[in-house]
Amino acid sequence: MRGRGPGRSRNYRAGRGVKTVPVITAAEAAAKVQSGQTLLVGGFGMTGNPVHLVHALAETDVQGLTYVANNVSEPGLSGGRLLRNRQIRKAVGSYFTSNPEAVKANQEGWLEVQLLPQGTLAEAIRAGGAGLGGFYTPTAAGTLIAGDADVRTLNGQEMVFVPALRGDVAFIRAWRADTAGNLQYRLTEQNFNRAMATAADLVIAEVEEIVPVGTIAPGEVHTPGLYVDFLVQGTLSADHLGSSASVKGGAKKVDEARMNMARRALKELHRGDVVNLGIGIPTLVADLITPEHGVNLHTENGMLGVGPAPEDGGALDYPVNAGKIPVTALAGASYFDSADSFAMIRGRHVDVAVMGGLQVDAHGNLANWAVPGKPLLGVGGAMDLAGGARRLIITMSHTDPDGTPKVVPDCTLPLTARGAVDLVITDKAVFEFRAGQLTLTELMPGATLDEVRAGTGAVFVEALRTETATV
């Protein structure tokens, strides 16, 4: 049974045995949070974010919070407002570089940051809600993120122990609630909300509307009312959605070299494949996929069956992808929460992941989350995807702007995953790993073999057409 924290309520309709959850204001909800507590905040960026609750908390004198969320929202919005007020002492999440003010606060020394891979964060919260002490995961094994965690080899695979996460209070966001506290989420708004609803002593749900018991069919209840202590009604507007308010806010960098890499990556995708496309160059692949390809796109914030971006509109009208860009849903699409999404990834149910890279080395190791000279504050879902997908394709420029090779003998940047890369597509060449050897198999349009030889730091085998040689 869950602990009965401050404000825990159990009200039932007389003679009917149906729990009635109190409806309070956002200000009343904020008053239930105490300084020094751990606060779980749902949302993926600003999608499914309990913005009214967090903004009400920003009007209080609560200080010293440990703030658990995927990130600290956007500057001045939701958690970003608490950050500006210096109400957050420690942030636990997966991607803080999306808020430059969080990066600055950490560099100035007043914001402590605990960085977790996105799937690890989701599973730690789910474990906390399930009464577990923690779990072992292959994600981040052999990387800086693992730190001094307990590492064991289980079923022949190195795994890192992660303690469960719980909060004193959870602020979550749902689309609808009935008066018994049963919650229904909209589109990709389940994200971290479902797990967080189970993992705090006091759970307050901000919802678009509150309806009578029975309005939400039993099969449409995503979070049962037994988890929910209080309801707050709050209507979202485009102003609450930040960069996801309009599809036009997610402009992509497009040039011929990048499109050539995207077209080449598309050739690796086959009918029936479940595919996850990372940010950067891989997002261009999505625009090339048509229904005739029969590819099923997966996004780690909780969607399978991603369609192309709409011509107009934003997150009030459409689901969003992992880049927080509004997208459409194809026939047969489904929605789920972030913990389930990463279970699909770690469970090797995703056939192909296409990701960007900073370095790939001759051993198939990948480095793509830590940029030289920048703080190590954003890993997102990269480690889960790199180690969990059945096949990993990396798209990246062949060299840095100064000509430094990105295909190297050994990665010098912090690792994302070890021995995980199957195929590398650069603007100059295509490399495969054949029998553990880095092998050049194709030249990209306009590239020459001499350019590839000069711009590649690692030793590789040439297998262009029929000739084979070692460089």
Q: State whether 109 and 215 are in the same domain.
A: yes
Per-residue confidence (pLDDT) for residue 17, from 0 to 100: 63
> Residue 33 sits in which domain range?
26-244
DSSP line for 247-259? GGGSPPP--HHHH
Per-residue confidence (pLDDT) for residue 151, from 0 to 100: 95
Q: State whether 196 and 51 are in the same domain.
A: yes
Q: State whether 453 and 376 are in the same domain.
A: yes
Per-residue confidence (pLDDT) for residue 4, from 0 to 100: 43
Per-residue confidence (pLDDT) for residue 15, from 0 to 100: 38
Residue with tokens 């050897």: 437
Per-residue confidence (pLDDT) for residue 279, from 0 to 100: 84
Cβ contact 116:92 at 8 Å: yes
Answer whether residue 432 is part of any domain.
yes
Q: State whether 55 and 156 are in the same domain.
A: yes
Q: Which of 190, 220, 244 marks a domain boundary?
A: 244
Per-residue confidence (pLDDT) for residue 280, from 0 to 100: 83
Answer whether residue 355 is part of any domain.
yes
Active-site annotation holder among 123, 189, 206, 300 = 300
Q: State whether 188 and 293 are in the same domain.
A: no
Per-residue confidence (pLDDT) for residue 6, from 0 to 100: 42
- Distance between alpha carbon 30 and the CA centroid of its chain, in Å? 27
Answer whether residue 20 is part of any domain.
no
Q: Which of 220, 244, 268 marks a domain boundary?
A: 244
Q: Which of 177, 212, 244 marks a domain boundary?
A: 244
Task: List the structure tokens of 261.
Answer: 């890499």
Annotation marks residue 300 as catalytic: yes
pTM of the predicted model as reported, rounded to 2 decimal places: 0.92
Answer whether residue 161 is part of any domain.
yes
Residues of the chain with pLDDT below 70 are 1-17, 249-253, 465-471
What does residue 361 show for φ and ψ, rounded to 5 degrees? Answer: -110, 180
Q: State whether 236 and 284 are in the same domain.
A: no
Inter-CA distances, 202 with 108, 123, 129, 205, 350, Å: 32, 20, 12, 10, 35
Per-residue confidence (pLDDT) for residue 372, from 0 to 100: 74
Per-residue confidence (pLDDT) for residue 1, from 0 to 100: 34
Q: Measured between alpha carbons, how far is 425 from 356 in angstroms, rounded to an integer? A: 10
Cβ contact 128:196 at 8 Å: no
Q: How many domains does the chain have?
A: 2
Q: State whether 211 and 304 are in the same domain.
A: no
Q: Measured between alpha carbons, how far is 246 from 40 in angstroms, rounded to an integer? A: 27
Q: State whether 377 and 405 are in the same domain.
A: yes
Q: State whether 134 and 35 are in the same domain.
A: yes
Beta-bridge partner residues of 91: 67, 113
Residue with tokens 């045995």: 17
Q: State whether 197 and 285 are in the same domain.
A: no
Inter-CA distances, 197 with 13, 118, 131, 275, Å: 23, 18, 13, 29
* CATH code of 457's domain: 3.40.1080.10
Per-residue confidence (pLDDT) for residue 183, from 0 to 100: 98
Contacts of 357 (CB under 8 A, 6+ apart): 366, 367, 368, 394, 395, 396, 406, 424
Per-residue confidence (pLDDT) for residue 11, from 0 to 100: 56
Q: State whether 297 and 438 are in the same domain.
A: yes
Task: List the structure tokens of 39.
Answer: 């606060």
Amino acid at 97: T
